[in-house]
Structure 1
Amino acid sequence: MRREEVVAEAAITLLVERGMRGLTHRAVDEAAGLPLGSTSNLARTRAALLALTLARLTELEERQFALPTAGDAGWPGTPAGPEELAEMMAWLLHTQLTEGRRTTLARYELALEATRRPELREVYDRAGRRFRELAVAVLTAAGSPDPVRHGRQLVAYGEGVIFDAVAGAGGVPALADLRAGMREILNGMLGRRAG
């Protein structure tokens, strides 16, 4: 693993375990088992450390979900129809709440910090754009009459479910419940029965 990855992984762990206040250059050095000053040499400022951490989170989430690019065929690429889209979206949400919980928690810590740091907001928005563009692409392929608006709504629904499960009182929904919810959302968007 490259030093950037080691530092970013330690930063992610600190965000999950201690929150934003526990993320310092010194704490990252200690958590990563690096000599003091190593993180500062790599990411001089707090903003640089946060950007490095967010870049690693984005990379991990893209890899975890094997995110397709527009036009890719096959699972988990562009879904063949509404039923497959509902299945894919339910699986993505469930994964973020179970084996991807660590990255989800760290991403929410960074999302809140981005509301106070314009330089991080720019990085955060750029990273999130890929996920939104994918939602638009799959909804276009599924026949949405307004894929841009529907893509925004689909992402907002998913984020709401995740937030409720992670920070709210909702708990982690079963995959079957997520699948049913996605079918209902898609039925409304696509104007037909999704599954």
Structure 2
Amino acid sequence: MPTRSTPAGGAPPPRQSRSELIADAALALLAERGMRGLTHRAVDERAGLPQGSTSNHARTREALLEAAVRRLAELEGRVLAPGELPAGGGPDLMAAGLAHALHRYLTGSTELLVCRYELALEATRRPGLRVFYDEAGRRFREPLVALMAAAGSSEPERHALSLVAWAEGMMFACAVGSYRRAVPTEAQLRTGCAELLRGMLGTGTG
């Protein structure tokens, strides 16, 4: 999981709150041990907190899972930065921004993807968590819909779904699937994304 080392010549990073410490420990356990390894006691041990600290912060397992989903969305947002995607300039410029974010994720944050898959599967069995998980995902879907609308898409919702499906498939294949040891270069991702965007936006090869 992300560390908070002090930059050379810089000030120490802000001290983590207890809620962040607990959520980060929960995500680390999910990535390393899976859902069965996530317990309140294990989080206490991983975070270096007194026994019972996690139970005081998140009294139920579902509350602990919700804390993990909330923190995961925050950390993924820093990597993918949906608000930084270009809102215009044609499919090539859009593809460059999307490919850069995707490549950054695939080469430095695959443990977050493993956590997301664990939580997504658990959400299929917990209706309350499903609602919470889907709500957290809106922060990524809505910017893509807006992006497609700004690019001139005739059906921004449907085209955003196609874009998400392409990106999700790429992330699954490269994080835990058969392409785990063959992550595409940023240039390859840019080419593939541009091909998809041109087809949806009807801009041909120009």
Structure 2 length-normalised TM = 0.87
One-letter amino acid of the structure 1 residue matched with residue 190 of structure 2: R
Runs of 4+ in 1 over 4 A off after TM superposition: none
User: Given that residues 86 and 93 in structure 2 are in contact (C-alpha distance below 8 angstroms), is that contact kept between their aligned partners in structure 1?
Assistant: no
In 1, distance between residues paired with 2:184 and 2:124? 28
Q: Number of residues paired by the alignment?
A: 189
One-letter amino acid of the structure 2 residue matched with residue 3 of structure 1: R
Q: Which runs of 5+ in 1 are unaligned?
A: 69-74
Shift of residue 67 of structure 1?
2.9
Q: Which runs of 5+ in 2 are unaligned?
A: 1-15
* Percent identity between the two aligned chains: 55
Shift of residue 170 of structure 1?
1.6
One-letter amino acid of the structure 2 residue matched with residue 114 of structure 1: A
User: Given that residues 90 and 182 in structure 1 are in contact (C-alpha distance below 8 angstroms), is that contact kept between their aligned partners in structure 2?
Assistant: yes
Counterpart of 2:82 in 1: which secondary structure? coil
1:128-176 CA distance string (max 9 Å, x none): 1221111111111111111110001110111011111122102322212
The residue correspondences of 1:1-195 to structure 2 (distance < 5 A) are 1-68=16-83, 76-171=85-180, 172-193=183-204
User: Given that residues 10 and 32 in structure 1 are in contact (C-alpha distance below 8 angstroms), is that contact kept between their aligned partners in structure 2?
Assistant: yes
Counterpart of 2:45 in 1: which secondary structure? helix
User: Given that residues 10 and 28 in structure 1 are in contact (C-alpha distance below 8 angstroms), is that contact kept between their aligned partners in structure 2?
Assistant: yes
User: Given that residues 120 and 133 in structure 2 are in contact (C-alpha distance below 8 angstroms), is that contact kept between their aligned partners in structure 1?
Assistant: yes
In 1, distance between residues paired with 2:136 and 2:205? 29
In 2, distance between residues paired with 1:136 and 1:67? 11
Judging changes above 3 Å, is the alpha-carbon distance between structure 1 residues 76 and 153 closer, same or farther for their aligned structure 2 residues? closer
Shifted more, 57-66 versus 126-135: the winner is 57-66
Counterpart of 1:135 in 2: which secondary structure? helix
One-letter amino acid of the structure 2 residue matched with residue 133 of structure 1: E
Counterpart of 1:36 in 2: which secondary structure? coil
Match of residue 71 from structure 1: none
